[in-house]
Amino acid sequence: MEEEPVRIPITNELDLHTFRPNEVGELLVDYLGECQKLGILNVRIVHGKGAGTLRIGVHAALSKMLIVASYAWPASATTGGWGATWVHLKP
């Protein structure tokens, strides 16, 4: 039985805590693509601190995406610190 796609609102923040690590790559491509279409060019990705496995996977995926101008980790202390990465998309 095929699962229904999960619909999430498109904002400048994506919290990955509710997703499995194997879902993140495709999710980032789709989500950031929608952000770019909507003109949301600065997006905070919340991956958590943990052991860093999810963060490493997120950064690897971001490095391959042509729409990503740059990304910054850790986020500022007020926007998630070590548990979040800011992504800057190309217009």
Backbone angles phi, psi at 73, to 5 degrees: -140, 140
What's this model's pTM, rounded to 2 decimal places?
A: 0.88
> pLDDT digits over 37-70, tens only?
999 999 999 999 988 889 999 999 999 999 999 9
> pLDDT digits over 66-79, tens only?
999 999 999 999 99
C-alpha 8 chain-centroid distance: 13
Mean pLDDT of 5-9: 75
Show the DSSP H helices in 1-91 as ranges.
24-38, 53-64
Right CATH for 13-89 from 3.30.1370.110, 3.30.2000.10, 3.30.1490.20, 3.90.550.10:
3.30.1370.110
Residue from 12, 68, 23, 17 nearest 47 by CA: 17
| Residue 20 pLDDT level (bands cut at 50, 70, 90) | confident
Sequence ranges of the domains in the chain: 13-89
